[in-house]
Amino acid sequence: MATSPLVGVVMGSKSDYSCMGAAVRTLQEFGVAHEARVVSAHRTPDLLWMYATEARGRGLRAIIAGAGGAAHLPGMLAAKTIVPVFGVPVNATSLNGLDALLSIVQMPKGIPVGTLAIGEAGAVNAALLAIAVLATTDPALGDKLERWRAAREQLVLAETLDEGGNA
């Protein structure tokens, strides 16, 4: 039996998957039920409205929305649902994602979007943030997240530099 998705990963176009795939892979690593879809704020506004208004009723607990350029997707989703939305600016224009970052982070009071870093690091962190939200009510997932973070700590502690500061 398929598990209903807890996290939605949406992006403005298929080309955004080169960035947003990092969020999907992170959710897979943790075994979090999720879905990945293209939902364009500008080209499929009716789909966006439906996706956002049905998100809570379908059991989504977080939405990770990646968009480049004008990057209206995260904000429009947040305007239509109380499910937490984490926005990932995608580097899709000659402005290297700065335009998307500014668009996503400048939401009006009352319509929050948790805004992450530009690109793949932001996509991974958005997934980790969604996992942390889920872990508040899922002790096993919380334990897995704590082990994952401890493993990252050990990787850093294992790094050594020679006296000249070289790896």
Residue at 164 is within a domain: no
For 15, the domain range is: 7-158
**Spatial contact of 67 and 78, defined as CB atoms under 8 Å apart:** no
Is a pLDDT exceeding 80 seen at residue 2? no
Dihedral angle computed from the Cα positions of residues 44, 93, 9 and 112, in that order, rounded to the nearest 10 degrees? -90
* CATH classification of the domain holding 28: 3.40.50.1970
Eight-class DSSP state of 82: S
Q: Provide the mean pLDDT of the chain.
A: 95
For 64-102, what is each residue's pLDDT tens digit?
A: 999 999 999 999 999 999 999 999 999 998 899 999 999
Residue positions in the annotated binding site for substrate?
13, 16, 43
Dihedral angle computed from the Cα positions of residues 142, 145, 147 and 152, in that order, rounded to the nearest 10 degrees? -160
Residue at 166 is within a domain: no
Average pLDDT over residues 101-117: 97
For 11-34, what is each residue's pLDDT tens digit?
A: 999 999 999 999 999 999 999 999
Looking at the 3D structure of the chain, how many domains does it have? Answer: 1
Is a pLDDT exceeding 50 seen at residue 1? no
Beta strands in the chain (DSSP E): 7-11, 34-38, 62-67, 85-89, 114-115
Residue positions in the annotated binding site?
13, 16, 43
**Spatial contact of 66 and 88, defined as CB atoms under 8 Å apart:** yes
